[in-house]
Structure 1
Amino acid sequence: MTSESFFTLSERIDEVFFFIGAAVLLIEVLEAIFKGNLRKKTLMEMLASASTQIPFLLVEIFVMTFAYGVLYMVSANFVSWQIPTTWVTVIVALVLVDLTYYWEHRIAHQVRLLWTQHAVHHSSRDYSIITSIRFGPFESLWALIMHIPLVLIGFAPDVVFGCSLIVLGYQTWLHTEVIGKLGPLEWVLNTPSHHRVHHGADAKYLDKNYGGILIIWDRMFGSFQVEEERPRYGLTTDFDSQNPIKVWFSELPALMKDLRNAKSGQEVWMRLFGRPGWKP
């Protein structure tokens, strides 16, 4: 196996998750029609979620393509050792990428500057498969930074990015309420039930279940919460807009206002890198 062939395989796996997600979306829509719940607001919310792909893809094309290229160049010219690409090393890389995703995700909830991007994913009051593609424009940049150490220790960039694609693709089917709890799988894997908790704005559900594929990281690092009552989705602050521009940049106006009103360099630092909601 080569790193290039593995990346091609990861793209095929991502396509499989896409089709699974499309099937679940069809079930969601049919269920809503059957129950009479397919309201105009629901459709507008879905369109707002889908619209986030516009700035996200523009950043991918004009910013991240260059950033990925730089990382490939660094790997080729400055990392003189490389871990061979075999099934064993790919599985190891997948586990490490999943662990990296856990911390990338957890930190994005705890650092306000990063939260301005990730909050876009959480701002919908509805919860459906379409939520899985609701991204902040610059989320990929933070993800790239977090994966740099894996390239520096010798994993080929194609292997790292391929594993990352699988971790993200896996999560597509988690964004639904039509799938209940999955028995023993709940102990090891991230499931729709676990991820519904993650999107909950209820106090008991806040900042829980960060995992990508495996839920064991949350169990190990003390951030696990089982789903009990149905979550109240969205942000703890009042956000209920379907205006695409407001959805894309929902957290930035408040951050800009706080930075303008900051009275010291320390306050500027804490406004940017402290927890969301921090006040002097």
Structure 2
Amino acid sequence: MTPQALETLGTRIDEVFLLIGAAILLIELAEVLFKGSHKGRTIAEMLVSASTQIPSIAVQVFILTGAYIIYYILAEVAQPWQIPLTWWGIALAVIAADFTYYWEHRIAHQVRILWTQHAVHHSSRDYNIITGIRFGPLEGVWNLIMHIPLVFLGFSPEMIFFGIIVVLAYQTWIHTEVIGKLGWFDKVMNSPANHRVHHGCDDKYIDMNYGGITVIWDQLFGTYQAEEETPRYGLKRDFDSRNPIKVWFSELPGLWHDVTRARSWGEAWRYMMRPPGWKPSADRGE
């Protein structure tokens, strides 16, 4: 297979999941319009979710497009070997991208400076297909950094980009309540039921089900939780805004407040690098 053919295949896969997502969206809109008692709120929530694409695309165009050249430079000057562009090599690339996504995603929940971006995706009290495109402006930067090690494992930039596209495209259809539990499928693959858990802010659901395509990584690393009762969606803290600017930058004011009032540079650093909600010992009364 040629790099051009792989790029075309990635585009086709993305288009297939986009069509599936569009079909689910039509069903969700029909439910909202004909059965929803809070349809005004739901439509507003969908619109603000879609609005997050404005800063996200701007960053993609003006920063990340050029930054991805790093992959080609590293592949040229520092790649010890290259995995061949065959079907088994492509399958390995998708598995590697999915494994990388698990850790990229998990770390983004545990490091507050990264959470300021990923929290945008979790900030909606509604859960629908449009939630899947609700991104923080700089989430792509962390994605770029986390996938760089795949170059040193021998994957070409084209294979890495293909893996990223497949992992993200797959997740298009899982942001919905239209599809219920899927039996054995839920125990192996990321599914609407599994991802609803991930978006829940209930204590039992917090920081669970990080997987992209499969939940096998969650099973292996102790972060799997099956859906039981319907989750309460959104952030743990009281945040329920449909102001686009507040949604885009929802976590930054709180981080700025804590960092600027830190009692030392070390404390300021820990505010940024420790999990969300971390406080110095003195603040906890210890």
TM-score class, shorter-chain normalisation, is over 0.9
1:76 Cα deviation after fit? 2.3
Judge conservation of contact 1:127–1:175 (CA < 8 Å) in 2.
yes
1:77 Cα deviation after fit? 3.3
| RMSD (Å), alpha carbons | 1.0
Residue matched to 2:243: 243
> Is 1:174 paired with 2:174?
yes
How many angstroms apart in 2 are the aligned matches of 1:77 and 1:109?
33
Aligned partner of residue 205 in structure 1, secondary structure:
coil
Residue matched to 2:55: 55
1:272 Cα deviation after fit? 0.7
How many angstroms apart in 2 are the aligned matches of 1:242 and 1:16?
30
Structure 1 unaligned segments of length 5 or more: list them.
Answer: none
Residue matched to 1:186: 186
1:156 Cα deviation after fit? 0.6
Residue matched to 2:284: none
Judge conservation of contact 1:3–1:156 (CA < 8 Å) in 2.
no
Aligned length: 280
Residue matched to 1:32: 32
Give a deviation string over 1:15-58, Cα, whole Å, max 9, x none. Answer: 11011000000001111222133521111111100000000000
Residue matched to 1:86: 86
The amino acid that maps onto 1:236 is K
What TM-score do the two structures reach when normalised by structure 1? 0.98
How many angstroms apart in 2 are the aligned matches of 1:36 and 1:250?
27
How many angstroms apart in 1 are the aligned matches of 2:71 and 2:184?
40
Runs of 4+ in 1 over 4 A off after TM superposition: none
> Is 1:19 paired with 2:24?
no
Judge conservation of contact 2:74–2:151 (CA < 8 Å) in 1.
no
Residue matched to 1:266: 266
How many angstroms apart in 2 are the aligned matches of 1:243 and 1:38?
17
Q: Percent identity?
A: 60
The amino acid that maps onto 2:130 is I
The amino acid that maps onto 1:137 is P
Give a deviation string over 1:165-224, Cα, whole Å, max 9, x none. Answer: 110010010000010111121121110000000000000000000000001110110000
Residue matched to 1:160: 160
How many angstroms apart in 1 are the aligned matches of 2:187 and 2:125?
28
How many angstroms apart in 1 are the aligned matches of 2:14 and 2:219?
26
Residue matched to 2:113: 113
How many angstroms apart in 2 are the aligned matches of 1:129 and 1:36?
16
Give a deviation string over 1:116-161, Cα, whole Å, max 9, x none. Answer: 0000000000000000000001111101111001112210111111
Residue matched to 1:99: 99
Residue matched to 2:217: 217
Residue matched to 1:145: 145
Residue matched to 2:283: none
Judge conservation of contact 1:137–1:248 (CA < 8 Å) in 2.
yes
The amino acid that maps onto 1:40 is G
> Is 1:226 paired with 2:226?
yes
1:127-146 aligned at under 5 Å gives the runs 127-146=127-146
Judge conservation of contact 1:129–1:173 (CA < 8 Å) in 2.
yes
The amino acid that maps onto 2:228 is E
How many angstroms apart in 1 are the aligned matches of 2:4 and 2:38?
43
Judge conservation of contact 1:29–1:38 (CA < 8 Å) in 2.
no
How many angstroms apart in 1 are the aligned matches of 2:212 and 2:51?
23
1:72 Cα deviation after fit? 1.6
The amino acid that maps onto 1:124 is S
Residue matched to 1:2: 2
1:80 Cα deviation after fit? 5.4
The amino acid that maps onto 1:62 is F
How many angstroms apart in 2 are the aligned matches of 1:21 and 1:197?
19
Judge conservation of contact 1:17–1:169 (CA < 8 Å) in 2.
yes
How many angstroms apart in 2 are the aligned matches of 1:9 and 1:123?
33
How many angstroms apart in 2 are the aligned matches of 1:18 and 1:273?
35
Judge conservation of contact 2:3–2:158 (CA < 8 Å) in 1.
yes
